[in-house]
Structure 1
Amino acid sequence: MKITPEHNERMANMTFASVYPHYITKVKRKGRTKEELHQVITWLTGFDDNKLQELIDEKATFETFFKQATLNPDAHLITGVICGYRIEEIENQLTKQVRYLDKLVEELAKGKKMERILRTA
């Protein structure tokens, strides 16, 4: 699928707080925990639980969310298709970062081992 400038803008302006409850629902429905979700988010962004809650409370957009993040140096190892888009082919950096997060949440919900999700040896 082709990503349009409108799609990139929509991703940038979406709030993390609006998506976060869906992440929790998705992983819990598959038997995973909120703590595991936070572990995945922390691995990708460097945010601790307090910073995550602060960003939720202030209704930070994904643009703000990822500007404040310290992206894991191994994030580029997150590959594959998510929401119909091949992550490796996404040119817009912010859209790619949002899809990284989506992919990690999907892997968690699918029951993959944490070592594999967090791209560790």
Structure 2
Amino acid sequence: MKSTAHHDERIANMTFASVYPHYVTKVEKKDRTVDELHEVITWLTSFTSEEIQSLIDEKVTFRTFFERANLNPNAHLITGVICGYRVEEITNKLTQQTRYLDKLIDELAKGRKMEKILRVPKP
């Protein structure tokens, strides 16, 4: 699947608040918790739970969300396919960051162990 400028712009302008409830539903349906969801978001972005709530309340776009984020230096270790795209091959930085988040949440919902989701290196 090839990303387009229109697709990238649509993602950039989507609000985090509009997607967040879907993240919650997805993980809770699979017996994971909002705390675990926040742990994953925090790992990727460095946002605290309070900051996540503030971003939701502000109705920030994904563009603003990732502009304010301090992306984890190990985010490049997130690989695989999400929404028909191989995340490591996405050329638009913001779209890739958004798909990183989608991929982590997907792994959480699929029951993957937290240390694997958070790319904890093996000793």
TM-score past 0.5 threshold:
yes
Q: TM-score, normalised by structure 1?
A: 0.99
Write the deviation string for residues 40-70 of structure 1: whole angstroms up to 9, x where unpaired. 0000000001111110001000000000000
Unaligned runs of 5+ in 1: none
Q: Name the amino acid aligned to 2:91.
A: E
> What is the match of residue 31 of structure 2?
31
Q: TM-score, normalised by structure 2?
A: 0.98
1:88 deviation in Å?
1.0
Q: Name the amino acid aligned to 2:108.
A: L
For 2:79 and 2:107, the matched residues in 1 are separated by 11
For 1:114 and 1:7, the matched residues in 2 are separated by 30
Secondary structure of the residue aligned to 1:57 is helix
> What is the match of residue 56 of structure 1?
56
For 2:120 and 2:33, the matched residues in 1 are separated by 20
1:86 deviation in Å?
0.5
Unaligned runs of 5+ in 2: none
For 2:74 and 2:64, the matched residues in 1 are separated by 21
For 2:38 and 2:88, the matched residues in 1 are separated by 24
For 2:49 and 2:38, the matched residues in 1 are separated by 7
Matches within 5 A, 1:56-75: 56-75=56-75
Matches within 5 A, 1:1-121: 1-121=1-121
For 1:88 and 1:46, the matched residues in 2 are separated by 21
Structure 1 residue ranges (4+ consecutive) displaced by more than 3 angstroms after TM superposition: none
Secondary structure of the residue aligned to 1:17 is helix
Aligned length: 121
